[in-house]
Amino acid sequence: MIRARRARIVATLGPASRAPGMVKALAQAGADVFRLNFSHGTHEDHAAALKAVRGAEMALQRPLGVLADLQGPKLRLGKFRDGAIDVKPGHVLRLDLDPTPGDATRVQMPHPEIFSALRPGMALLIDDGRVRLRVGQGGADWAEVTVESGTRLSDRKGVAVPDCVIPVSALTPKDREDLAFALRLGVDWVALSFVQKAEDMAELKRLVAGKAACLAKIEKPQALDDLESILDYCDGVMVARGDLGVELPPEDVPVAQKQILRAARNRGVPAIVATQMLESMTSAPAPTRAEASDVANAVYEGADALMLSAETASGDYPLETVGIMSRIIERVEKDPLWPSLMDAEHAGMDEHDVDALVAAARKAAEAQATACLVVFTTLGGTARRMSRERPLQPILALTPNPDTARRLALVWGLESRLGKQPESLEMVTDDAVAGAVQYGLAQPGQRILILAGTPFGAPGAANLLRLAHAPAPRKRGR
């Protein structure tokens, strides 16, 4: 089960895909990490899905990651007396806290935190931007708005406020319950929605307390403004283009995607590109040409992983979707232009010995005889640093920690596997060579580069770069 590609695939599980047989088939087709979307489904559904992933992992003998995606706060309008109203540009409406069903003159917006942040001239986007409102006068519990575009407002449609930070926690009471449940299940990653500032991620990290890796979903313009500070608290990041595309002009979304990917790679933080990657395959057996190009462009940009949402959760062709995405990634990585793009940008070295070691390993691996790199890692830090350099050779990450192996399933180019904690330099060499040969990453006589650290088992202590060669098979005597 060694992948023929470096970029990873995240598949969302749902009614169409959470059965054990389908989960195993999705992993065989190319899924590396499975997403549990806590915006949908019950705790029982998610528990069954995680059990199916662990079963597939055991059957395939390949670590598989599980990502719990928290819903985050949902800002919505109230209800209308007749379920909806027709509007047109120039229509004036009052938003307030009164729960009485609305009409053509007013409707409830049950979020005092929004009213406290609104100022005249700000925009409100309703129903994924289908209706655009401009704020006029207002107070602590009301605002007068004018319709700028759109034709219809209906019950419980979502509200987005792109022009300011909303003073609301990214973790709702539901999220806290879901988080506690996900951590009891033993998920490997937790994704936080509605991140606006670094404090949101700091709160998540405090609650998770090292039981899982923490990932920020960048879907608010305010998060872009505070991106570097947010990354200080991130183990991973997601370019959540759905909501980001609501609050940003369409022409800004590709630029934001590149900005996030560049910043994440510079930090050695794995980055996922998500939303509408192969959306048409929710109901069609093949993607559009534009979707294939979108997937390919994310690979050319060096994304660690690409995510499928409704395509695998509720679509008609979950298995075909993963297979096609995997083939697109493989094809891009065979493009003669692709290696130069991966080599075009390298992060500056921090003041750590391991960065100098990793940079030296990348340069040494450029020799054509080098078959693969083998990294011994306890918590995954050295393996992620090696991935950040984007070497063209496979990277085998050996760890004694199952949690580390599963978390590394999200990271570009890493083939994470369980291995014993080495106790000597001889064991380091022997285990690295044996692993490279066992998984088909090195042929007899080929060079293997080994990264490890002494004292053995001490996290963050990578300080050793060794060369070894896969042994030739012994000739039998007559």
Residue burial 355-393, b: 16+ Cβ < 10 Å; e: rest:
bebbbebbeebeeeebbbbbbbbbbbbbbbbbbbbbbeb
Give yes or no: 146 in active site: no
Which string of DSSP letters, residue by residue, matches 328-394? Answer: HHHHHHTSTTHHHHHHS--PPP-SSHHHHHHHHHHHHHTSTTEEEEEEE-SSSHHHHHHHHT--SS-
Give yes or no: 105 in active site: no
The residue type of 268 is G
* Cα gap 125→141, rounded to integer Å: 19
Tokens representing 424 are 């000597």
* Cα gap 318→13, rounded to integer Å: 9
Tokens representing 400 are 């004694």
Catalytic residue among 3, 8, 275, 390: 275
Residue of 430, 425, 434, 470 lying closest to 452 (CA atoms): 425
Catalytic residue among 8, 35, 241, 406: 35
Helix axis angle for 289-300 and 318-333, nearest 10°, is 50
Query: If you ran DSSP here, which 8-state letter would residue 158 be given?
Result: B
* Cα gap 376→386, rounded to integer Å: 11
Phi, psi (degrees; rounded to nearest 5) at 356: -65, -40
Residue 110, preceding peptide bond in cis (omega within 30° of 0): no
Cα distances (angstroms) measured from residue 432 to each of 6, 50, 71, 212: 20, 31, 41, 27
Catalytic residue among 217, 384, 388, 406: 217
On whether the CB atoms of residues 135 and 145 are closer than 8 A, the answer is: yes
Catalytic residue among 51, 54, 74, 76: 76
* Cα gap 280→220, rounded to integer Å: 25
* Cα gap 435→375, rounded to integer Å: 11
Cα distances (angstroms) measured from residue 267 to each of 233, 329, 346, 390: 11, 23, 10, 13
Give yes or no: 76 in active site: yes
Give yes or no: 18 in active site: no
* Cα gap 169→75, rounded to integer Å: 12
Sign of CA dihedral 352, 354, 355, 359: positive
Compute the C-alpha angle 203/113/133, nearest 5°: 120
Antiparallel, parallel or unpaired: β 65-69 and 189-192: parallel
Query: If you ran DSSP here, which 8-state letter would residue 82 be given?
Result: T
Which residues carry out catalysis? 35, 76, 217, 275
